A = this chain, B = another copy of it.
Amino acid sequence: MDVARTSTRAIGRSAVREELARGAFGQFCREGFDKVTLDDLAAAAGVSRSTFLRYFGSKEEVVLFTFDPLGDGMVDALRARPAGEEDWAALRRALDPVIARLTREPASEGLALLRLVGQTPALCARLREKQAGWRPRLVQSLTERSEAQRSSSLMLHARVAAAMECLMAALEHWVADEGRPGLDDLVDEAFDALS
């Protein structure tokens, strides 16, 4: 059967992916993202450069593919909010699963990931690109949520973008303070700054 075959392959594939990424992440943290070449990563993982690159597509993706589920999680959470809720409040709540995922144990893992991204311009830029890719779906969810359509698409776009920036600003402060203040509270604070 086609489905079974592709799915078993897919399972193996994502397991290998996970394993390769784990090793690479250690190297990046130890030596710095820019110092480690694809050849280094492939050699350490015991595969060829071709194979390594086939699993991720780009060097940045080795680190950033872990953020992929966050986009879907946010869209789903936004869809689940009650229709009457204000956009801004709904967007705040849509970040809950994102926060949960980033702060789940071991806490140092999420922190290390964000620290690596934060101190590597190339990773920052790519992460922002990734987030930009989530936006259309978030705007779409926001549009469907309120049939009343009081807001133009530009306004919805502005709210979604601002919400993402609140998250990013909160993350930056959270990392800078070594995770001390709760990320939840920081995101609340950032959201409060715009209402």
A158 within 8 A of B: yes
A186 within 8 A of B: yes
Q: Which of A3-11, A27-35, A122-130 lies at the interface? A: A122-130
Decide if A154 touches B170 in the complex (CB within 8 Å).
yes
Given the known A-B contacts A129-B124, A154-B193, are A168 and B173 also in contact in the complex, defined by CB atoms under 8 Å? no
Decide if A157 touches B132 in the complex (CB within 8 Å).
no
| CB-contacts of A119-139 with B (<8 A) | 121, 124-126, 128-129, 132
From the candidates B151, B153, B161, B191, name the one contacting A165 in the complex (CB within 8 A): B161
A78 within 8 A of B: no
User: Which residues of B have CB within 8 Å of A125?
Assistant: 125-126, 128-129
Decide if A155 touches B124 in the complex (CB within 8 Å).
no
Cβ distance A14 to chain B, nearest Cβ, rounded Å: 25
Cβ distance A124 to chain B, nearest Cβ, rounded Å: 7
From the candidates B159, B161, B173, name the one contacting A154 in the complex (CB within 8 A): B173
CA gap between A169 and B151 in the complex, in Å? 14
Decide if B172 touches A168 in the complex (CB within 8 Å).
no
User: Which residues of B have CB within 8 Å of A159?
Assistant: 193-194
20 pairs of residues in contact across A and B, judged by CB atoms under 8 Å: A124-B132, A125-B125, A125-B128, A125-B129, A153-B173, A154-B169, A154-B186, A154-B190, A155-B193, A157-B190, A158-B165, A158-B170, A158-B193, A161-B165, A161-B169, A162-B162, A162-B165, A162-B194, A194-B194, A195-B195
